[in-house]
A = this chain, B = another copy of it.
Amino acid sequence: MERAVKYFDKYLPLDDHEKQALLSRLTERKIKRKQYILQEGDTCKYFTYVVEGCFKMYGIDHSGSEHNLLFTAEDDWITDIDSLHKERPSKLFIEAIEPSVILQISKGDLWYLYTNYPKFDRNFRVIIEDKYIELQNRLLQTFSKTAYERYESFLEQYPRLTNRLPNTQIASYLGITPEFLSKIRNERATK
């Protein structure tokens, strides 16, 4: 649990009261491979901290294909903000790729922290700003680079994920088919 507190040391460290307030509101859960913590149609109830393991968040198109929006591994936060905030059914799935351990805080408890300890407003503002920056860069790349280039920059940016994820999942993240990724990998290897 202390790991979740330490996370904030990167931003504005918490004092003892704030630590206590946060810790007492986090619930630990163990999640199996392929288990969902959010399914399309359900309303998202939690902000989730990943202690151990790895998750993917994705949407499904009309023909049933999955499209990965992001991966979240150790010591990072994940939620469907749209569904959590607007309290409407999610369009997304969040699914464990590995056996995982998470800490969850409910929307109500999070709102309690926001109201009573302003530092959480600050810290979660900065967290989401960082995630916004990531998304913005990803969208720009999607428009301005080839699949080959996007794969190379994925390898650079997430070297630790490369060996943990099947290529099918990476392909879905890059917005291409596994077959085409295979072609790209073959090209890279022969050079």
Contact = CB atoms under 8 A, between A and B. Distances in A.
A21 B114 CA distance: 22
- Size category of the binding interface on chain A: 20 to 34
A67 B86 CA distance: 30
Contacts of A91: 140
A131 B133 CA distance: 11
Contact of A135 (B61, B124, B136): B136
Contacts of A133: 81-82, 85-86
B69 A129 contact: no
A67 B121 contact: no
25 contacts: A59-B140, A61-B143, A61-B144, A62-B144, A67-B140, A67-B143, A69-B136, A69-B140, A81-B129, A81-B132, A81-B133, A81-B136, A82-B136, A85-B129, A118-B118, A121-B122, A124-B125, A125-B128, A128-B128, A131-B132, A132-B135, A135-B136, A135-B139, A139-B139, A142-B143
